[in-house]
Amino acid sequence: MDLTWTESEQRFREECREWLRANVPAEPLPSGDTSEGFAAHLEWENLLHSAGWAVVSWPAAYGGRDATLWEWLIFEEEYYAAGAPQRITQNGIFLLAPTIFEFGSRAQQDYYLPRMSAAQDLWCQGWSEPNAGSDLAGIKSRAVRDDERGGWVLSGQKTWTTRGAFSTHLFGLFRTDPEAERHRGLTYFLAPLTAEGMTVRGFGRLDGDEGFAEVFLDDVFVPDDDGTTETMAAGGILGEVGQGWGVAMSTTSSERGLTLRSPGRFRAAAARLLELAHDQIAAGVDLDPAVLDAVTDAWIDTEAYALYTLRDVTGVVEGTPAGARSSYNKVFWSELDVRLHEAALDLLGAEAELDGSWMHGYEFSLSGPIYAGTNEIQRNIIAERVLGLPRK
């Protein structure tokens, strides 16, 4: 065990901290899941990118600074501690990019990644369908081969697409072999939302933001990749035709695991929770001891999550990634986030219903146990793939 940071990691932390201190907007931006807020967040992404902070762990050629996984963790800690804006680019940089790094051709990497880090292309995820949510393998959207034109024709409907209404591109799974069932015969497609035949309809989420969308595909043509930027601009395929499930699964473990929910995020929230508790105590608010216990539980669980992540990252660095164990991670952080916000609402008492940041955070936390694979599905994965219980 060595729980200290090297000198160069500490310098990296200082550098992050100073830049964030000088650049994070003093007033929080309006939510990035609204059209007004999205524009403000886009400006922020441009600023991050120009200073080299958009994708710290990527190669410099793609807009990063070749940071180690440990440095990425430090960046995340500083980012959330500084109260910096949410990342509207996250579905691209955290979910799609790892898949492009793993499965994309060199030409695809060279084309898509710099545009993604610069927030020129804004990606949304096209996985869920009206009848394929937790049961993702039940996907019905199809891609039909068109040999004459040399490409694929996509049709179907995708839904619950976060920030779909503001994004420029979609990545998702489509059935390329109509005879194949379930996990077989699926292919991982990339497509611009501006393509002919794409219709995007935004709608309001529980928290009032208009961040959800459904995407209708009516014979959207994706040409075969001939290695030119023209065809890549019109979309493409990641990995092999028919291998989409395996390609997508590499993304889901990022989504469930640490890339989307680094501990820095919860540490910042737990620190704010503690501050709120101190404020309420100082103001003489009569608090039931059970509420203070709930605050303490949230704090302890946040520490446990942070330490667990250090162990996970050590494993990744040393070549033993978490695999199916990332489902533990997803269940834990998403339920911790809900409990943490519930503790804050209890501290606020009758004032909790005021439309403030804690209520907003609470509403958002409630999505955690649902997205990225519901926690019911995660518990199945833990039971079957980690513990080894029989599937049937």
Stretch that binds another protein, among 2-10, 145-153, 170-178, 186-194 (CB under 8 A): 2-10
Q: 68: which 2 tokens?
A: 């180690």
CA angle, 117 then 118 then 121, to 5°: 85
Kindly state the DSSP code that residue 325 receives in the 8-state scheme.
G
What whole-number distance in Å separates Cα of residue 220 and Cα of residue 177?
Answer: 17
What whole-number distance in Å separates Cα of residue 322 and Cα of residue 329?
Answer: 9
Contact in structure between 155 and 218 (CB atoms under 8 Å):
yes
CA-CA-CA-CA dihedral for 47, 57, 99, 126, to nearest 10: -30
What whole-number distance in Å separates Cα of residue 247 and Cα of residue 269?
Answer: 33
Write the interaction track for another protein spanning residues 42-71; mark x where CB under 8 A is met and - where it is not: ----------------------------x-
Cβ-based nearer residue to another protein, 277 or 359: 277
Nearest approach, Cβ of 307 to another protein (angstroms)? Answer: 4
Nearest approach, Cβ of 6 to another protein (angstroms)? Answer: 8
Q: 82: which 2 tokens?
A: 């500084």
376: enclosing H helix or E strand? helix 375-381
Q: Does 290 bind another protein (CB under 8 A)?
A: no
What whole-number distance in Å separates Cα of residue 392 and Cα of residue 384?
Answer: 10
Nearest approach, Cβ of 381 to another protein (angstroms)? Answer: 8
Q: Does 315 bind another protein (CB under 8 A)?
A: yes
Stretch that binds another protein, among 24-32, 55-63, 118-126, 382-390 (CB under 8 A): 382-390
CA of 241: how far to CAs of 143, 157, 168, 185, 349, in Å?
Answer: 10, 20, 24, 8, 55
Contact in structure between 343 and 299 (CB atoms under 8 Å):
no
Q: Does 337 bind another protein (CB under 8 A)?
A: no
Q: Does 281 bind another protein (CB under 8 A)?
A: yes
Q: Does 144 bind another protein (CB under 8 A)?
A: no
Q: In this chain, which of 278, 288, 316, 354 binds another protein, going by CB under 8 A?
A: 278
Amino acid at 81: A
Q: Does 332 bind another protein (CB under 8 A)?
A: yes
Stretch that binds another protein, among 84-92, 101-109, 186-194, 277-285 (CB under 8 A): 277-285
Segment 9 to 48, residues that bind another protein, using CB under 8 A: 9
Nearest approach, Cβ of 299 to another protein (angstroms)? Answer: 6
Contact in structure between 115 and 108 (CB atoms under 8 Å):
no
Among residues 15, 255, 353, 363, the one annotated as catalytic is 255
Q: 375: which 2 tokens?
A: 């926690």
Q: 92: which 2 tokens?
A: 């691209």
Q: In this chain, which of 51, 144, 180, 307 binds another protein, going by CB under 8 A?
A: 307
Q: Does 249 bind another protein (CB under 8 A)?
A: no
In terms of phi and psi (left: phi > 0; alpha: psi -120 to 50; beta: otherwise), the region of 160 is left
Cβ-based nearer residue to another protein, 45 or 312: 312
Q: Is 184 exposed, middle or buried (0-12, 13-18, 19+ CB in 10 A)?
A: middle
Task: Count the site residues for another protein by CB under 8 A.
Answer: 49
Cβ-based nearer residue to another protein, 75 or 212: 75
Q: In this chain, which of 107, 276, 366, 386 binds another protein, going by CB under 8 A?
A: 386
Contact in structure between 104 and 41 (CB atoms under 8 Å):
no
Nearest approach, Cβ of 160 to another protein (angstroms)? Answer: 23
Cβ-based nearer residue to another protein, 238 or 294: 294
Tell me whether strands 169-175 and 123-126 are parallel, antiparallel or unpaired.
parallel
Q: 341: which 2 tokens?
A: 């916000």
Cβ-based nearer residue to another protein, 39 or 271: 271
Return phi, psi of residue 129, to 5°.
-130, 165
Q: Does 230 bind another protein (CB under 8 A)?
A: no
Q: Does 146 bind another protein (CB under 8 A)?
A: no
Active site residue 230: no
Q: Which residues are catalytic?
A: 255
Question: Which residues bind to another protein, rule: CB under 8 A?
Answer: 1-6, 9, 70, 274, 277-278, 281, 292-293, 295-297, 299-301, 303-305, 307-308, 310-311, 313-315, 318, 325, 328, 331-332, 376, 378-380, 382-384, 386-392
